[in-house]
Amino acid sequence: MVRHNVYFWLDESLTDEQKTAFEGGLSALFEIDSVKSGSFGKPAGTPVRPVTHNTFDYALVLEFDSVEKHDEYQVDADHQVFVDQFSPWFKEVRIFDTQF
């Protein structure tokens, strides 16, 4: 299994309506055939600690049955629609992929 963790820092000027559209775009990624499961959220209100990073705006977690399924997702047309539509709003994106 592969867990695809994506952290987004968004442009501060986005409106609530744009943030809602972004959340809809994240949810649409769960419908891509190669995605086994997915979820997204915002930073938790946990106590500040030197090792905790919570400056991101959204975190996306997708799970795939294999590296091959992950690779299919990367070239899927619906994934590209998400990237094309929302990447102008990204200040920064960090991805951490883990294989189990």
- Partners of 97 in the beta sheet? 4
Are 98 and 6 contacting, i.e. CB atoms less than 8 angstroms apart?
Answer: no
Amino acid occupying residue 84: D
pLDDT digits (tens, 9 = 90+) for 59-77: 999 999 999 999 999 999 9
Domain residues of the chain, as ranges? 2-44+55-99
Average pLDDT of 15-35? 98
Structural fold of domain 2-44+55-99? Alpha-Beta Plaits (3.30.70)
pTM score: 0.94
Q: Which of these, 69, 43, 38, 65, lies nearest to 54 by C-alpha position?
A: 43
